[in-house]
Each structure stands twice: as C-alpha cells, then as structure tokens.
Amino acid sequence: MSRKPQNKRKRDTAYHPELHTRDVNSREIFKNDTLASQFLRNYTNIPLFANVQPEDIKDVSSKSTLFTAMRRKR
C-alpha cells in the first residue's frame, strides 16, 4: 500500500522583486534616529515609546566600555 503525495501547497518558487523589500538589520535601524523612533513607536507594545520622536534618541554607547571595544573591532 503506497501513498500518493497530496501536493496541498502550491509551489511557486519564482522570484517577484516587487513583492520583496530590502532586508534591514538592527544595526542599520538603530544607527538612524528616525528609523529607531519608528521602530519603537510602531513595533513595540510599550506605552512609554508610543510618542517617541527622533529628537528623543541619544547615543549613549560611548558610556559603556563594551560598546567602545566592539566598535574598535569593526
């Protein structure tokens, strides 16, 4: 008794560039104040970030020696 494949899923492996957007990693987002504020405002469910603006974001990575050491490596 052998089973036949059910093929329930349509196999569309064609690439549609109009449907794909550029993949952006977290480093690019948090390097840009506007993108970081949009992320915090729209994609986190934290009331404190509901009205965050680009002007509200500060770079405090220089206060931590861990971040300073990581930046030197790159």
Structural domain count of the chain: 1
Question: How many residues are present in the chain?
Answer: 74
- Closest C-alpha to 22, from 11, 35, 9, 12: 35
Question: By the 8 A CB rule, do 63 and 55 touch?
Answer: no
Name the residue type at position 9: R
Q: In the prediction, which pLDDT does 6 show?
A: 65
Q: In the prediction, which pLDDT does 63 show?
A: 76
Distance from the Cα of residue 38 to its chain's centroid: 11
DSSP class of residue 9? S
Instruction: Give percent of the chain above pLDDT 90.
Output: 27
More confident call, 55 vs 17: 55
Q: Does residue 3 lie in a domain region?
A: no
Question: By the 8 A CB rule, do 37 and 57 touch?
Answer: yes
Q: Does residue 55 lie in a domain region?
A: yes
Question: Domain range for residue 34?
Answer: 26-73
Q: Does residue 36 lie in a domain region?
A: yes
Q: Does residue 14 lie in a domain region?
A: no
**If you average pLDDT over residues 35-46, what whole number do you get?**
91
